[in-house]
Amino acid sequence: MALTLPPKVTPRAFARLAEINATTGEDKVLRVAVEGGGCSGFQYDITLDQVADDDVVLKGDGGTVVIDPVSLPFLENATIDFTEELIGARFVIDNPNATSACGCGVSFSM
């Protein structure tokens, strides 16, 4: 079985997760998953959650990001970031494995 490298998480994404947890008073992790669906075949599911036993855990300054083992190969060498734009603020994924993506950046194909 080939080694699957986990995605990178930017300091800005960890900092935003820390801000969210400080505001809510909870200690949640950011779960990034890949599911079938969306206009391009796959879509990202980004939620606040708890760590599961089989998760890949990525810890940074102020936060934790987790990825389930099924989603991990789809996110190999991706970058998880947080961005603030005129249309809103959100966590985003720059995925070099995606061959195309929809306009909103949530759905992609491989």
Q: Are strands 100-101 and 63-67 parallel, antiparallel or unpaired?
A: unpaired
Q: Are strands 100-101 and 88-94 parallel, antiparallel or unpaired?
A: unpaired
Rounded-to-integer distance, Cα 55 and Cα 65, Å: 9
Per-residue model confidence (pLDDT) at position 79 = 95
Superfamily of domain 8-94: HesB-like domain (2.60.300.12)
Predicted structure pTM score: 0.84
Per-residue model confidence (pLDDT) at position 106 = 54
Point out which residues pair with 34 in neighbouring strands. 44
Residue, of 3 and 41, whose pLDDT is higher: 41
70-85 pLDDT, tens digit each: 999 989 999 999 999 8
**All structural domains of the chain with their residue ranges:** 8-94
Rounded-to-integer distance, Cα 104 and Cα 44, Å: 11
Residue from 50, 58, 62, 59 nearest 15 by CA = 62
